[in-house]
Every structure is written in structure tokens, then in C-alpha cells.
Amino acid sequence: MTPKEIVSYLDEYIIGQKDAKKVVAIALRNRYRRLQLPKEIQDEVMPKNILMIGSTGVGKTEIARRMAKIMGLPFIKVEASKYTEVGFVGRDVESMVRDLVVSSINLVKEEHRNKSTQDIEKYVLDKIVEKLIPPLPKGASEQKVEEYENAANKMRQKVLNGEMDHLKIEVEAPKRTFEIEDGNMPAEFAKVQETIAKVFIASPKDSPKKEVTIKEAKELLKVEASEALLDLEAIKQEGLKRAENSGIIFIDEIDKVAVSGNGGQRQDPSKEGVQRDLLPIVEGSVVNTKYGSIKTDHILFIAAGAFSLSKPSDLIAELQGRFPLRVELDSLDEEALYKILTQTKNSILRQYEALLSVEDVHLSFSDTAIRALAHYSQVANEKTEDIGARRLHTVVEQVIEEISFEAENYKGKEVEITEILVKEKLESLVADSDTAHYIL
């Protein structure tokens, strides 16, 4: 997708923040551009990492999440505050790269599985029909073979149509695997784990036969079919390659490991240590994973933080230099909150309407009610902590709580949320700053 197309897609889900969308769109497009270059130039083109600065709830994480979804790229979101420097108890920063590799391999495996859907379905169908109509012995006459084929084809159609789903057949339970997808596990420990797993899997008791309905067997046999038909080694290599060249790591709460000059955060020495451990990964190094080594030179890093108690300049200078693109996101005003409720695809209002339609309750919101919801959200943000668009969830939930709780009383009815109802539910709460602090 071109940068304009990426921004257009992001506009469907995120209001405003044009600068941030533009920077992200160009960074994504440059991933594609680099891969079209000759090999010798490819290695020289390094990704331009991005630092997003903005208060909570303005769309930092949503931009990253949506862009990864649209591009189908290996992507993980991590929180900087969850990591500790080497020597402290906790996750080391290299584990984020291992997590990215796992995410990439799962992405490639899913793609291969989708491409092999027909083969997998055929494998499952053949196995089930084989259980229902055992194969003929060798040397059977042509007439017997023809009769068997006719009977098998009829049975296939019945299984496909779900007519046989209630019947029970005996299948082998999927093998228990002892793999633990732990991104914090060093490669050498992963190899030991793999060896132990092979010993256990070799046990005949590991794959007991169990009696299940054909409906359940279809799902169990899909797992078996995937293992039998997919080239797992090729998937692993493709996953590693894709993580190296197209991977994106979104580091949220980067401000939580910044050491501000006021001395309050200096009591935690691990914060600066996390930054120093992060530096070689962002600069480019080799990380060992259970699937093989991966170079981090061309992974795109996007860091984000509110920086309410610290400043970007409180990060160590070397790390600041590895995030050359900086973009500040705007705070959300009342108009922006109104647009989030009305213009975004699958907005929170559409979600509640869909949820209550399950109970045959036809919920709708008048325009003046939506304006009031945006207004009270903005006032609550000003009076208490500014949590941006997240405030909308709290406010809307407060307004429709009773309707949602007593949904059976509204079955088959049209229920309109009006400005009067919104005021009734929220005005007294927002007016009392103590109550607003705890409820909203």
C-alpha cells in the first residue's frame, strides 16, 4: 500500500493525529521499498525508528496495532516497564526479539495453512471415511472396488454435509508437546527442552486412542493434517527471514524507564540498565532463539510514551539517537471525542448496539446525546486524570448500564439514548470531582 492508502485506512479507525499517521505510513512503505533494492544496497538501508510522544488514550498503540494488521507483518507490542537489566529478576530485553520470532513463525504457519485448506480438508475427510468404511483388502475384484468407491463417495458427501456429525469414531489424540513458547528462554535451554520433549513424545502412551464424535474428530484431525502436510522447516526459515526483514517491535511506556533529573526515579538503578541493554538490540546485533539466530539490524522499533513525569531527553543519549523520527500526538478535545464516537469504523456506540441486538434490543443514540457523551468525557478528563479516548468507554458504560443489566425488559423494543438520559446519569457525577475521580 502507498503511504496515502495507509493513512486513509488509519483514518477509518483513528481520528486526527495526521503527523503520526504520515510518519508511520512512510516508515512502512520504506520497508517495501528496501526489499526491492539490489542486495548490496539493501544491507545499507537501515530502518528509521520512531518515538511517539503523547498522553494516554490519544491513539499511539492503536496506530501501531492497526498498521501491523493491515500489512500482515510480524508485530509484537511490549511494555518497557516489564523488562529488567541483566542481573535483576525479570525478563531480559532480548526476549522481545524471541517473541517477535514466535509471532512471525505463527504468521507464516497460518498463511501456509490457509493455502493448504483444500489439502487439509481432503486429508480429514479421507481419514474419517476410512474409519466409517474400512478399506478393501488387496486383490479385491473390480466390481467390489467400484461398489466401494460409490459407497465412499456417498459417505464423503454425508460427512461434508454434517449428517454424520453425531456418530462416534476412534481417533488418535494429538501428541502432547512439551514446547513452552517462552521468549525469555535462552537458546541453549530451548535445545535441552527439545531433547526432553522427544523422549516423552516417543512414548506410545503419549498418543492414546479416544472416542469422539465426528464433529470433534474434524477439529482434532486438522491438527494432525497440518503437521503431516506442512513443511515445518521451511516455515521456520521463512518466519526467521520475515522477522529479520519486516518485523516491527512496538515498545510502549518507554518513558517508564527514563531517569528524570528530579532524583525520584534514581532509586531504581535497573531503569538505566534496561536502556543500556536495549541499545545493542536497536542498533543491530545477533540474538539467539530456539529457532535459530536473528539479526536485529532491519527490525523497525517504534517506542511510545506519555512523558508526563519525564522528558524524551531523560533517555540516555545513545538510545535517543537510535529513534531519529519523533512525532508528538495531539491531546483530544471535545470535537475529537465526538468524531471518535460517530466517524470511526466499529466505534464503541456501534459495538454496544451490536451487543444488545443479540438480546433483540434495538439501541440507538441521538446526536445530542452523543454530543453530551463527548462533553462529559472531556470534563471528566479535565477534572481527573486525562486518559483520552479511554474515558468514552467509562462514560458510555455508565449511561447504558441499567439497560444492559435489564435487557430482557426491553426485548423487541426501540431504545433511544437521549441527551436528557445522559445528563441524568452523568451530570451529578462529573460535578462532584471526588465522585468523578473514583467512578469516572
List the grid coordinates of 350: 456501534
Name which of 74-83, 89-98, 191-200 the model is least confident about. Answer: 191-200
Does residue 309 or residue 297 have the better pLDDT? 297
Q: Please report, for the domain that includes residue 395, its CATH number.
A: 1.10.8.60
Point out the domain boundary residue: 273, 298, 328.
Answer: 328
Q: What is the pLDDT of residue 167?
A: 75
Nearest in space to 102 (alpha carbons), one of 183, 197, 189: 183
* CA proximity to 320, closest of 286, 284, 283, 273: 283
Q: Which pLDDT score is estimated for 366?
A: 92
Range from 10-24, 179-193, 343-357 carrying the lowest mean pLDDT? 179-193
Strand-pairing partners, residue 179, are none
Same domain, 303 and 408: no
Nearest to 14 by CA among 431, 340, 314: 340
Given a cut of 50, whether residue 204 has pLDDT beyond it is no
**C-alpha cell of 113?**
495453512
212/280 same-domain check:
no
CA–CA distance, 247 with 71 (Å, rounded to integer): 11
Q: Is the pLDDT of residue 124 over 70?
A: yes
pLDDT of residue 181: 47
Question: Given a cut of 80, is residue 241 above it in pLDDT?
Answer: yes
Mean pLDDT of 253-280: 73
pLDDT at 401 over 70: yes
* pLDDT for 100: 92
Model confidence pLDDT, tens digit, residues 340-383:
999 888 889 999 999 999 989 899 999 999 999 999 888 888 88
Q: What is the pLDDT of residue 431?
A: 72
Are 242 and 383 in a shared domain? no
Contacts of 24 by beta carbon, 8 Å cutoff, 6+ apart: 6, 10, 50, 63, 64, 67, 302
288 and 213 in a common domain? no
* Number of separate domains in the chain: 3
> Cβ(211)–Cβ(167) under 8 Å?
no
pLDDT score, position 266: 47
Answering whether pTM is above 0.85, one says: no
pLDDT digits (tens, 9 = 90+) for 312-323: 888 888 888 889
* 85-89, 262-266, 374-378, range with greatest mean pLDDT: 374-378
Give the CATH number for residue 281.
3.40.50.300
383 lies in the same domain as 289: no
Least confident of 26-30, 208-212, 404-408: 208-212
pLDDT value for 203? 47
Q: Is residue 440 part of a domain?
A: no
**Greatest CA separation found in the chain?**
91
- Same domain for 299 and 270: yes
Query: What span, in angstroms and rounded, lies between the C-alpha atoms of 133 and 155?
Result: 8
246 and 197, same domain (yes or no) = no
> Confidence class of residue 386 from pLDDT cuts 50, 70 and 90?
confident
- Mean pLDDT computed over 309-338: 87
- Tell whether the model's pLDDT for residue 164 goes beyond 60: yes
For residue 71, the model assigns a pLDDT of: 74
- The mean predicted confidence, pLDDT, of the chain is 80
Residue 393 lies in a domain: yes
Range of the domain at 226: 118-236
Q: What pLDDT shows up at residue 193?
A: 58
